[in-house]
Structure 1
Amino acid sequence: MPNYRSTKEEPLLEVKNLETGFLIEGEYYNAVDNVSFKVKPKQVIGIVGESGCGKSVMSLSIMQLLPKGTGKVRNGEIKFQGRNIEGLSDKEINKIRGKDVSMIFQEPMTSLNPVFTIGFQLMEVLFNHEKISKREARDRCVKLLKSVGISRAEQIVDEYPHQLSGGMRQRVMIAMAIACQPKLLIADEPTTALDVTVQAQILELLKEIQQVNDMSVILITHDLGVVAEMCDDVIVMYAGKVVESTTVDALFYNPKHPYTKLLMGSIPKLDEEVEELASIKGIVPSLKNMPKQGCRFVDRCPSAMSECRTISPLLAENEPGHEVACLLYESSKPKAEVHT
């Protein structure tokens, strides 16, 4: 397990050596491979990487929302407040999901049921975890909608998802996620489908809610600008593995992994004039084409060496509080793990 920054404070969430796979044509392939990290109370952690890097699969593993029959946590532990919640029964996990741990999904239109009113769907969350009357639940729903910046809350509560804009629907999803005041909120690309102005409003709202409610947040995104604005620490994932982990400041001022450096280089800068933004050649390997040995980034890496194809780098501390998995650094070289 990686040696994460030490703290006297017990982690709220601890993911340890997590492996999540999918059944494809009769064979299991790992989408999340030996991932470990901790989330402390009131901490905001960003998880970044391109599409296909395993970010969303990891969040669904924590929430135990993997597709039954094809998705499976094959190894590892998911501890919430010291209790291993991986493998709990549906009844047991339902007591935690939505109450102690909530999630905001990428696309609110597909997350909200089009045939039920906003109020009905909000009240369903409350009824699932609290014993309250319909009148109390409705009043709570109106307050929740107002708390996320919806001005016509008394009317919106009786409307349907298709009657709302994308930004309004995402605010409803946030209201649903915080209805029972969870200790941990997982936000999976919460602003992807929204225009730039609405994105900024939603991020500001999330930041305010996190601070007011003292929640921990796992923010999954491909946007490093969002990470800089919101997060304390950052985990960079590539092809199912963590390749770098550190504080936000260290990541932006001293990125170490070639993949992280390339991600940084693809961000437009106001003080620089360039004809063409930097890009990362190639694509993330699919589950069926994942390299069996060596570094998974080798075919796209401008710093690749011959040994990168045969030796799998270890995620190890290169500087205090800064972990990286790259053979450019001695700390990541295994003592005796050479594949041939």
Structure 2
Amino acid sequence: MSANYASNHQTPLLQVKNLQTGFKIDGDYFNAVEGVSFNIQRKQIVGVVGESGCGKSVMSLSIMQLLPAGIGKIRGGEIEFEGEAISKLSDKKMNNIRGKDISMIFQEPMTSLNPVFTIGYQIQEVILNHEKISKKEARNRSISLLKSVGIPRADKIVDEYPHQLSGGMRQRVMIAMAIACQPKLLIADEPTTALDVTVQAQILELLKSIQEANDMSIILITHDLGVVAEICDEVLVMYAGKIVERANVEELFNNPKHPYTDLLMKAIPKMDEDVEKLATIDGLVPSITNMPQVGCRFSNRCPKAMPECMTITPQLGEVAAGHEAACLLYDSSWPSGEKRQKEREGASAV
């Protein structure tokens, strides 16, 4: 992380330092998240984007310490919340933080909600786990929470089961559970996936209003850049377990630096363009068992790749004020700097 970037973002709510998270496969660990570092400021909404399999959800589960036991493991780095190292806390101590100070909206509300318990029971369980209040008070608060997230007939819904609600309503229940104890940090993992466009807009508007009302920070994990543009302040772009670009949302959309981010932007359909075929990115994200150990992990898919990209691992560095990218195009210490790339493009045009 650059010194300028760090100095402009003091006393962060969350600090992730060189995080490495691996999974055990056939007796060996393979990292799904490799050397990830970033800060989350208070009252900030940070989007994390990238294709499926790039490590977004694994990173969030690492923060929450909800990796599958015996298979997933934080293998290195530190996670600090309000200055306290939480990556090595006991289950009991982490349980005091999880749900109260840091909460999470999971990717699929139908599988995240327990089908055999009522909506009210599941919300009350969160409240009673962290606060010493009566069951009656917890029930009344559950009804108030359901109302606050826009669920009609909250006094009746509280006694219904997940299968009786639509996808949009279930997602609102998940949000109510996540904000039940007014957390300081909310992690929303693909909160609008599988919802229709109208409901997506409502959920995003709801998250934004809750964030403003509670002075909460949000990590919004998504593959939808439209969602990021709608509510985020800053964006982290991930590829193959690493952060390849970081900038505020306006800068990233107006001036993407990393070739991967640029291709993601070009793949967004535009209303004012009539094209027969949408832009795509050739190839696939490498699997964790076949991850390149040297060089840029995007090099085999990158239209601007140069020989050095196969053997030199780029580091995340500042390429403009408050804008960082991990790409040799902007690393003047190697022959493949930006000037050389422009020369190559000019030669190929002739």
TM-score range normalised by the length of the shorter chain:
over 0.9
* Structure 2 equivalent of residue 137 of structure 1: 138
- Deviation string for 1:171-207 (max 9, x for gaps)? 0000000000000000000011211111111011001
* Structure 1 equivalent of residue 171 of structure 2: 170
Structure-1 separation of matches of 2:121 and 2:8? 42
Structure-2 separation of matches of 1:13 and 1:141? 28
TM-score, normalised with respect to structure 2: 0.94
Q: Is the 8 A contact 1:314 1:332 kept in 2?
A: no
Amino acid at match of 1:204: E
RMSD: 1.2
CA positional deviation for 1:9: 3.6
Q: Is the 8 A contact 2:9 2:41 kept in 1?
A: no
CA positional deviation for 1:5: 4.6
Alignment of 1:296-311 (within 5 A): 296-311=297-312
Paired positions, count: 334
Shift in CA distance, 279/111, structure 1 to aligned 2, threshold 3 Å: same
- Deviation string for 1:154-185 (max 9, x for gaps)? 00000000000000000000000000000000
The percent of aligned pairs where both chains have the same amino acid is 73
* Structure 2 equivalent of residue 251 of structure 1: 252
Q: Which runs of 5+ in 1 are unaligned?
A: 335-340
Amino acid at match of 1:30: N
* Structure 2 equivalent of residue 338 of structure 1: none
Amino acid at match of 1:174: I
TM-score, normalised with respect to structure 1: 0.96
- Deviation string for 1:46-102 (max 9, x for gaps)? 000000000000000000000011100010000000000001101000000000000
- Deviation string for 1:123-162 (max 9, x for gaps)? 0001000011111011100000000000110000000000
* Structure 2 equivalent of residue 47 of structure 1: 48
Q: Is the 8 A contact 1:315 1:332 kept in 2?
A: no
Shift in CA distance, 86/333, structure 1 to aligned 2, threshold 3 Å: farther
Structure-2 separation of matches of 1:35 and 1:228? 23
Q: Is the 8 A contact 1:20 1:33 kept in 2?
A: yes
* Structure 2 equivalent of residue 225 of structure 1: 226
Structure-2 separation of matches of 1:119 and 1:292? 49
Amino acid at match of 2:302: C
Report whether the alignment pairs 1:268 with 2:269.
Answer: yes
Shift in CA distance, 2/53, structure 1 to aligned 2, threshold 3 Å: farther
- Deviation string for 1:293-331 (max 9, x for gaps)? 100001110001011100000100011100000011125
Query: Secondary structure, in 3 states, of the residue corresponding to 1:36?
Result: strand
* Structure 2 equivalent of residue 337 of structure 1: none
Alignment of 1:30-41 (within 5 A): 30-41=31-42
CA positional deviation for 1:7: 2.8
Structure-1 separation of matches of 2:259 and 2:37? 21
Structure-2 separation of matches of 1:331 and 1:232? 29
